[in-house]
């Protein structure tokens, strides 16, 4: 179908629940279907994934949606022309408070029930108290240029809490739950399976997801170097279509459970299906031994039969850039100079989808 | 910082060698850590090995305030250590990333450009590691140097502004020509071994009283 310029590709991913589309594409033979032999390489940090993409050690990467913008601006790293021709997932993050903090908040409110999704308002008393004691509450996210970071700040801001009212750390995902056990963290905003893991272990309470905060906002995108795409136009299209079909496959609930099984393998998330399956099935674990909350779009990869879902529309990039400016990651000048259509390449996505439709007819 | 988690590479007392640069080696694998520590022994660096990760590592970094950090490219702690300046009011640190995987030379060069100060790739041997750490510090120093130069230039511009203003005031109030006003400031500066900028500031403060 395609004359791919390069058959053997390496694609970097981070072991998170929303890596399902690339894992499924690999396991279900969708890359092969489109003439590609893709090796998935598990990464341990976003910085290393970024550097490997910039330097050509990997051909493609599943990236945080703000990362291509950060690369184009050279924020903490070499300025590089990274493009995104596809959105791989939307939603998927959650905010979890430590059980200790949650219980404290409950007692401050005379044990009146806290409804979910909860706002940061419930923390106001504790934040004020801890601030005067010079012992601020400590939260963590994984990476600065991430939707987790912007969503968490937004969640605080909606309750008139500023970043200076708390401590915010950057901690690797695998260290989030242990740090909550040790009492080093009072809360975090991360992707799956880490929220569910904290709840299962009885150490955390998940009260908000990104679907509650920014409904269907892009979370992970396909990242390529601009030059690489120019030299491999057909390969790019094959890659887009393989992942697109994988996202469509993931729309069925029975398939979601199978995806959870695949993800739990040692070469992917290396974690029990108990903590991977819930979010994929639209279930948000809240408190240990309490009923989960139904969040159907907790992990969203596609809309059945609608190719628009995975299109990297310019307004998606503009919204992220606005968040980056609001929290001071970029200056108004950088924001003004930013050329989103050169980064979020919806036309590349559309060309691939048009080919697919031609094949069908 | 938990003292018992840190081990000095040699028996030197840091206080007797205050000029030695502090290198923090974040590595959970003791075998790998020892290899690097042996290499950096008896060099101009004091090396501190920290074998834990996550928040405890972060606390150690804050306490120790190292001059350089060495970390495995595959460590999950990289995101945390590269964003220290966003957490603490610490100056950014040069970071040396090492990798056991052999990459081509071009790739290494590209990765160096990608943000970290240096990459050590492949088998670790004394000469290379030592020189790469040296280069990382120098390269980082150069970057900081450029920042300093920018600050100096800004300072110079502001002092020229002061001299300019003082000159104008002298021209207006003492009916001096521009050259005479300039010479007047310069003479006071030379007679009193002061900078022209300081003399200009004094004149301007007198001017503001009058």
The beta-carbon neighbor of B79 closest among A45, A184, A185 is A45
* Nearest to A121, CA basis, from A69, A165, A68: A165
Q: Are A174 and B76 within 8 A, CB to CB?
A: yes
Pairing label, strands A204-209, A93-98: antiparallel
Query: Please, are residues A210 and A92 in contact by the beta-carbon 8 Å criterion?
Result: yes
B126-174 and B178-191 helices, crossing angle to 10°: 120
- B161: pLDDT strictly greater than 90: no
d(CA B149, CA B170): 31
- Average the pLDDT over each of A122-131, A331-340, B16-25 and give the range with the smallest value: B16-25
Provide, as residue numbers in chain B, all residues whose Cβ is less than 8 Å from the Cβ of A172. 53-54, 76-77, 79-80
A351 min Cα distance to partner chain B (Å): 31
Q: Is B99 in the A-facing interface, judged by CB distances under 8 Å?
A: no
Chain A and chain B share a number of CB contacts under 8 A equal to 91
Q: How confident is the model at residue B141 (pLDDT cuts 50, 70, 90)?
A: low
> In the predicted model, what is the mean pLDDT of residues A226-234?
97
The beta-carbon neighbor of A55 closest among B58, B83, B114 is B114
Domains parsed from chain B with CATH numbers: 3-124 (3.40.50.2300), 150-209 (1.10.10.10)
Provide, as residue numbers in chain B, all residues whose Cβ is less than 8 Å from the Cβ of A47. 78-79, 82, 115-116
Question: Would the ipTM clear 0.90, i.e. be above it?
Answer: no
- A152: pLDDT strictly greater than 80: yes
Interfacial A residues in 136-165 facing B (CB < 8 Å): 140, 142-144
A15 min Cα distance to partner chain B (Å): 11
Residue in A with minimal Cα distance to B107: A55
> In the predicted model, what is the mean pLDDT of residues A239-260?
97
Residue pLDDT, tens place only, A45-78: 998 899 889 888 899 999 999 999 999 998 866 6
Residue in B with minimal Cα distance to A175: B54
**CA A107: distance to chain centroid?**
33
Q: Is A242 in the B-facing interface, judged by CB distances under 8 Å?
A: no
Q: Is B185 in the A-facing interface, judged by CB distances under 8 Å?
A: no
Provide, as residue numbers in chain B, all residues whose Cβ is less than 8 Å from the Cβ of A170. 79-80, 83, 86-87
Q: Are B54 and A47 within 8 A, CB to CB?
A: no
A125 min Cα distance to partner chain B (Å): 24
The beta-carbon neighbor of A78 closest among B58, B73, B113 is B113
Residue with tokens 């934040």: A127
The beta-carbon neighbor of B78 closest among A45, A55, A179 is A45
d(CA A40, CA A361): 32
Q: Are B76 and A172 within 8 A, CB to CB?
A: yes
The neighbour count for residue B179, using CB atoms within 10 Å, is: 9
Cis-peptide, bond into residue A256, ω within 30° of zero: no
pLDDT attached to residue A250: 97
Q: Are B75 and A45 within 8 A, CB to CB?
A: yes
A345 min Cα distance to partner chain B (Å): 23
> In the predicted model, what is the mean pLDDT of residues A25-53?
94
> In the predicted model, what is the mean pLDDT of residues A108-129?
92
d(CA A50, CA B111): 10
Sheet holding A204-209, edge to edge: A167-170, A138-141, A187-191, A93-98, A204-209
pLDDT attached to residue B4: 34
d(CA A206, CA A96): 4
Sheet holding A37-42, edge to edge: A37-42, A8-13, A60-64, A218-225, A82-91, A299-300
- Average the pLDDT over each of A8-17, A109-118, A334-343 and give the range with the smallest value: A109-118
Provide, as residue numbers in chain B, all residues whose Cβ is less than 8 Å from the Cβ of A44. 74-76, 78
Residue with tokens 């801890």: A130
A332 min Cα distance to partner chain B (Å): 19
- DSSP symbols for A276-293: HHHHHTTEE--STTSPPE
Domains parsed from chain A with CATH numbers: 8-91+218-271+302-360 (3.40.190.10), 93-213 (3.40.190.10)
pLDDT attached to residue B5: 37
Q: Is A252 in the B-facing interface, judged by CB distances under 8 Å?
A: no
- A229: pLDDT strictly greater than 60: yes
Provide, as residue numbers in chain B, all residues whose Cβ is less than 8 Å from the Cβ of A57. 103, 107, 111
Q: Is A41 in the B-facing interface, judged by CB distances under 8 Å?
A: no
Q: How confident is the model at residue A113 (pLDDT cuts 50, 70, 90)?
A: confident
The strand ranges marked E within A142-234 are: 167-170, 187-191, 204-209, 218-225
Provide, as residue numbers in chain B, all residues whose Cβ is less than 8 Å from the Cβ of A73. none
Provide, as residue numbers in chain A, all residues whose Cβ is less than 8 Å from the Cβ of B61. none
Torsion A311-A314-A320-A323 (CA) sign: negative
The full 3-state SS of chain A, as one line of letters, equals CCCCCCCEEEEEECCCHHHHHHHHHHHCCHHHHCCCEEEEEECCCHHHHHHHHHCCCCCEEEEECCHHHHHHHCCCCCCCCEEEEEEEEEECEEEEEEHHHHHHHHHHCCCCCCCCCCCHHHHHHHHHHHHHCCCCCEEEECCCCCHHHHHHHHHHHCCCCCHHHCEEEECCHHHHHHHHHCCCCCEEEEECCHHHHHHHCCCEEEEEEHHHHCCCCEEEEEEEEHHHHHHCHHHHHHHHHHHHHHHHHCCCHHHHHHHHHHHCCCCCCCCCHHHHHHHHCCEECCCCCCCCEECCCCEECCECCEHHHHCCCHHHHHHHHHHHHHCCCCCHHHHHHCCHHHCECHHHHHHHHHHHHHHHC
Query: Please, are residues B88 and B62 in contact by the beta-carbon 8 Å criterion?
Result: yes
Give this prediction's pTM.
0.81
Q: Are B115 and A51 within 8 A, CB to CB?
A: yes
- B90: pLDDT strictly greater than 70: no
* Nearest to B185, CA basis, from B175, B152, B168, B208: B168
Q: What is the mean pLDDT of chain B?
A: 72
Q: Are A57 and B103 within 8 A, CB to CB?
A: yes
Tokens in use for A209? 């997801």
d(CA A157, CA A147): 15
Q: How confident is the model at residue A180 (pLDDT cuts 50, 70, 90)?
A: very high
* Nearest to A66, CA basis, from A325, A336, A279: A325
Q: Are A47 and B58 within 8 A, CB to CB?
A: no
Task: Provide the residue count of chain B.
Answer: 210
pLDDT attached to residue A273: 97
Give the three-class secondary structure for B158: helix
Sheet holding B45-50, edge to edge: B45-50, B21-26, B68-72, B95-99, B118-121
- B152: pLDDT strictly greater than 70: yes
Q: Pick the more confident residue, B95 or A321.
A: A321
Q: Are B114 and A185 within 8 A, CB to CB?
A: no
- Average the pLDDT over each of A105-114, A204-213, A223-232, B91-100 and give the range with the smallest value: B91-100
Q: Are A56 and B107 within 8 A, CB to CB?
A: yes
Q: Is B104 in the A-facing interface, judged by CB distances under 8 Å?
A: no
> In the predicted model, what is the mean pLDDT of residues B200-209?
86
């Amino acid at each position: 179908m395609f004359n791919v310029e390069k058959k053997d590709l390496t694609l970097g991913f981070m072991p998170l629940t929303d890596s399902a589309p690339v894992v499924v594409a690999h396991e279900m033979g969708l890359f092969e279907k489109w003439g590609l032999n893709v090796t998935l390489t598990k990464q341990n940090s976003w910085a290393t994934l970024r550097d490997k993409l910039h330097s050509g050690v990997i051909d493609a990467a599943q990236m945080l949606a703000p990362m291509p913008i950060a690369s184009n601006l050279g924020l903490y790293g070499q300025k590089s022309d990274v493009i995104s021709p596809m959105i791989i997932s939307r939603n998927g993050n959650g905010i979890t408070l430590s059980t200790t903090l949650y219980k404290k908040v409950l007692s401050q409110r005379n044990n009146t029930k806290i409804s979910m999704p909860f706002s940061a308002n419930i923390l106001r008393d504790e934040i004020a108290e801890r601030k005067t004691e010079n012992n601020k509450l400590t939260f963590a996210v994984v990476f600065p240029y991430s939707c987790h970071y912007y969503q968490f700040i937004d969640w605080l801001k909606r309750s008139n809490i500023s970043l200076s009212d708390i401590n915010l750390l950057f901690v690797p995902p695998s260290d989030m739950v242990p740090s909550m056990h040790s009492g080093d963290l009072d809360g975090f905003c991360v992707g799956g399976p880490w929220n569910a893991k904290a709840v299962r272990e009885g150490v955390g309470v998940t009260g908000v997801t990104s679907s509650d905060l920014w409904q269907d906002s892009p979370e992970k995108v396909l990242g390529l170097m601009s030059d690489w795409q120019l030299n491999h136009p057909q390969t790019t299209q094959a890659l887009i279509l393989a992942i697109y079909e994988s996202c469509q496959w993931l729309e069925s609930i029975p398939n979601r459970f199978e995806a959870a099984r695949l993800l739990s393998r040692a070469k992917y998330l290396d974690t029990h299906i108990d903590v991977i399956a819930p979010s994929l099935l639209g279930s948000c674990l809240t408190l240990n031994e309490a009923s989960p909350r139904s969040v159907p779009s907790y992990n969203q990869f596609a809309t059945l039969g609608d190719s628009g879902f995975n299109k990297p529309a310019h307004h998606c990039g503009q919204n992220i850039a606005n968040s980056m400016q609001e929290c001071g990651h970029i200056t108004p000048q950088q924001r003004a100079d930013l050329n989103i259509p050169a980064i979020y390449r919806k036309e590349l996505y559309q060309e691939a989808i048009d080919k697919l439709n031609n094949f069908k007819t | 910082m938990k003292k018992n988690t840190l081990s000095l590479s040699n028996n030197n007392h840091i206080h007797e060698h205050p000029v030695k640069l502090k290198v923090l080696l974040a590595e959970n694998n003791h075998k790998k850590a020892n290899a690097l520590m042996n290499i950096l022994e008896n060099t101009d660096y004091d090396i501190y090995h920290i074998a834990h990760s996550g928040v405890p590592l972060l606390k150690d970094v804050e306490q120790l305030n190292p001059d350089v950090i060495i970390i495995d490219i595959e460590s999950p702690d990289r995101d945390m250590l590269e964003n220290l300046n966003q957490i603490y009011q610490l100056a950014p640190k040069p970071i040396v990333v090492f990798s056991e995987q052999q990459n081509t030379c071009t790739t290494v060069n590209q990765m160096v450009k990608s943000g970290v100060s240096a990459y050590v790739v492949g088998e670790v041997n004394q000469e290379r590691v030592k020189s790469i750490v040296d280069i990382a510090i120098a390269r980082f120093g150069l970057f900081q140097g450029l920042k300093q130069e920018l600050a100096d230039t800004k300072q110079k511009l502001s002092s020229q502004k002061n001299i300019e203003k003082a000159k104008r005031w002298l021209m207006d109030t003492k009916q001096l020509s521009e050259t005479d006003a300039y010479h007047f400031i310069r003479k006071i500066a030379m007679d009193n071994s002061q900078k022209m900028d300081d003399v200009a500031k004094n004149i301007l403060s007198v001017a503001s009283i009058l």
